[in-house]
Amino acid sequence: MGHPPSTPPYATLAAGTPLECVVALGHDDEGDQDVFAESGGVGTPPTRATQGTAARHRALVAALLARGYAVGAAAATPALQVLGRSPEADGCTTYLTHPHAFRPVPSEPGRPVVVRLVANIDGRHGTAAASALLDGLRSATVCVYLGHLRFGLGPDFEPALPVTVAPGSGLPTAPARLARQAARIGRQHGEPLEATLDRWLAEGLLRIERVGTSRVVLSHRNLVPGSATARLTHWVARRAPGGLPAPAFAEPAASDAEHDAGTALDRHRLWVLLTCRATALFPALRRGLAPAPVWLVGPPDTVSLDESRTVPWILDALCAGGPWAEVLSVLDARAYGGRLVLDAPPDTYARDTAGGGDGGRRAHG
């Protein structure tokens, strides 16, 4: 196997057209607790251990405004029309547009960049946010997601564990404690914790307060099967009204052509998944995306939600025509092992005459 090229495929990334980017901020289970409770969802008193989605949204808007981007659908419309697209008024989207920031070749005129910033700030637009991210994954040249992966299920825009415990049941209300108790009782009865949870649900001791439409399902695989909380998360996803949908990219990329007949399968795109253990999903995503040449970037380990501050730097590097090393170096969190890994489409490898090779992976860290 060969090595991926040292630079992104700028010749085929938005060739001659504006650069469309979707940046989606997932639900923050700690920082967004009070917001979601006020919206009518299940919540607990805020801990403020993290700053929350609204604060990250404000910071990203401010960072892009400082770079000369204009906010609003009016500025985005002309550039989107060139792409055969139009702004969406969905309650969770903010458009930011720069008239000439995309200049991968310094000697050529710069082209417009449209950033669609997606976030369920008020706790009422989780389904719309998931739909916007899915649209970005299918259509945008660059798509960035920063948030939780729900132990392998996929990007999410509402709380993972909206489980209500019936009063007087004696069960703990905190999801992590509930998962551990289900595991203990399951061991006592010689059954998996999921069977215990099923029994409690059938007896009316538990109620699930959400549907799965606010999540973009990428996989059914539990990436942390030894965690009771991870198993509870997957159980809730399967038992929620409507069940667990099939992964969005489980089938080969013909689905992209069906989604947008004007999208050629050879159009290069870039997905940046700033979420814990993102690389564990790359093999399954690659099988489903084939033959579409989608470049995948993400960390193999944990990542902080506060890495949202790196998104403008990633856009800066791409707009300036920077090499992969510059793009990947923006995530510098050695204290917890933060790093980004590049997974290149199979047909883009430059052959390594020495016979070595990295399987299409390049890491920085």
Q: Which helix (H) or strand (E) holds 175?
A: helix 175-189
Claim to verify: residue 50 and residue 177 sit in the same structural domain: no
> 256 pLDDT band (50/70/90 cuts)?
very low
- Judge whether residue 359 has pLDDT over 70: no
122 & 176 share domain: no
Q: What is the pLDDT of residues 150-159, one digit of tens each?
A: 999 999 999 8
pLDDT at 48 over 60: no
**Structural domain harbouring 172:** 163-208
Domain membership of residue 281 (yes or no) is: yes
Highest mean pLDDT among 90-99, 266-275, 339-348: 90-99
Are 321 and 104 in contact, with CB atoms under 8 Å apart? Answer: yes
What is the tens place of the pLDDT at every residue in 342-352? 999 887 754 33
For the chain, the average pLDDT equals 85
Contacts of residue 115, Cβ cutoff 8 Å, sequence gap at least 6? 21, 22, 23, 64, 69, 95, 96, 97, 315
252 and 122 together in one domain: yes
Q: Specify the pLDDT at position 292.
A: 86
Of residues 60 and 5, more confidence is placed in 60
What distance in Å separates the CA atoms of residue 340 and residue 80, rounded to the nearest whole number?
30
Q: What is the pLDDT of residues 212-245, one digit of tens each?
A: 899 999 999 999 999 999 999 999 999 998 889 9
pLDDT of residue 305: 86
- Is residue 184 located within the same domain as residue 261? no
Q: Which residues pair with 207 in a beta bridge?
A: 164
147 with 254, same domain: the answer is yes
| Final residue belonging to a domain, choices 208, 236, 270 | 208
Residue linked to tokens 């193999």? 300
- pLDDT tens by residue, 163-184: 899 999 999 999 999 999 999 9
In-domain check, residue 13: no
Domain's final residue, options 208, 234, 269:
208
What is the per-residue pLDDT for 362?
A: 57
Residue 357 has pLDDT above 90, yes or no: no
pLDDT one-digit tens code per residue, 290-324: 888 999 999 998 888 888 888 999 999 999 999 99
Cα–Cα distance for residue pair 278/341, rounded to 1 Å: 9
Identify whether residues 121 and 198 lie together within a single domain. no
What is the total count of domains within the chain? 2
Of the given ranges (28-42, 129-143, 209-223, 272-286), which has the lowest mean pLDDT? Answer: 28-42
Task: Indicate whether 217 belongs to any domain.
Answer: no
* Same-domain check for residues 150 and 277: yes
pLDDT > 80? residue 187: yes
Q: Can you tell me the distance from the alpha carbon of 155 to that of 234, in angstroms, rounded to the nearest whole number?
A: 13
The amino acid at residue 126 is G
Q: What pLDDT was estimated at residue 89? A: 93
Q: Is residue 105 part of a domain?
A: yes
Identify the band that residue 29 occupies on the pLDDT scale cut at 50, 70 and 90: confident
Q: What is the pLDDT of residues 110-136, one digit of tens each?
A: 999 999 999 999 989 999 999 999 999
pLDDT at 64: 98
Q: Is the domain of 274 the same as that of 180?
A: no
Give the model confidence (pLDDT) of 62-92 as tens digits: 999 999 999 999 999 999 999 999 999 999 9
- Under the banding of pLDDT at 50, 70 and 90, the label for residue 339 is confident
Residue 242 in any domain: the answer is: no
What are the Cα distances from residue 248, in Å, to 207, 219, 237, 259, 295? 27, 8, 15, 12, 17
Position with higher pLDDT, 365 vs 149: 149
Query: What's the pLDDT score for residue 258?
Result: 44
- Identify whether residues 146 and 283 lie together within a single domain: yes
pLDDT of 36 higher than 60: no
Q: Look up residue 272 and give its amino acid.
A: V
CA angle 292, 296, 293 (to 5 degrees): 15
pLDDT at 211: 79
Task: Indicate whether 24 and 68 sit together in one domain.
Answer: yes
**What percent of the chain has pLDDT above 90?**
62
Percent of the chain with pLDDT over 70: 82
pLDDT band (50, 70, 90) for residue 39: very low
Range name among 250-254, 326-330, 354-358 with the lowest pLDDT average: 354-358
Residue 189 shares a structural domain with residue 136 = no
Please check the confidence at residue 94 and state whether its pLDDT lies above 50: yes
